[in-house]
Structure 1
Amino acid sequence: MTIRFKGPAGPATLSVTEVGPNKVEYTVKSGSGRSQGGASGPGQGCITVLRSNGGGNSCSGLGDAARPSPQPDAVVIQATTGEDGTAILRIVSE
């Protein structure tokens, strides 16, 4: 599945490359940049932040993490594994 959206540096895409019980993997492309993230295991997740001058990725145990907060001039992507084994994907922008 691929989701197209407007990122801080122009058009961007989020491609979910794998979903399974307690697992989600994805790739984000924005401008000339590319970031990958993935979570495996209950309560695990990744957050990718896109900005016009680049971005960053962080993966760890997120538990029942709430929706990420919007950040100025950024798009925040959160992919987590839910407590029931499902994948949860959130895209937040200001």
Structure 2
Amino acid sequence: MKLQPNVKLRLLIMFMQNTSTNSVLPFMALLLTHYLGGRKAGVILIVGIAIKLISSILGGYISDTLKVKKYSLAFITFISALMYLGMGITLLYI
């Protein structure tokens, strides 16, 4: 099966993004547990995962109904980068 170059690039970016997210999340849990306690860290992580689940379902629905996939992928990638930047800045003040 032959894929277009932009599809290959998007798959590569999604792989790197998911790999980085899944490798950081356990350490984020340990760090939050150390500084905030187990209960607060658990609530923060559960809320974050719930928001990710709901926003991915809602984003998929909006992307399918509005037919603006090119712009929505760029927007999602930009928002994801801002969220990682926000997490990095937050770690400086903990």
Q: Give the TM-score range, shorter chain.
A: under 0.3
Q: Which has the higher helix share?
A: 2
Tell me the TM-score normalized by structure 1.
Answer: 0.24
Q: Which has the higher strand share?
A: 1
Q: Larger Rg: 1 or 2? A: 2
Tell me the TM-score normalized by structure 2.
Answer: 0.24
Which fold has the larger relative contact order, with Cα–Cα distance below 8 Å and residues 6 or more apart in sequence? 1
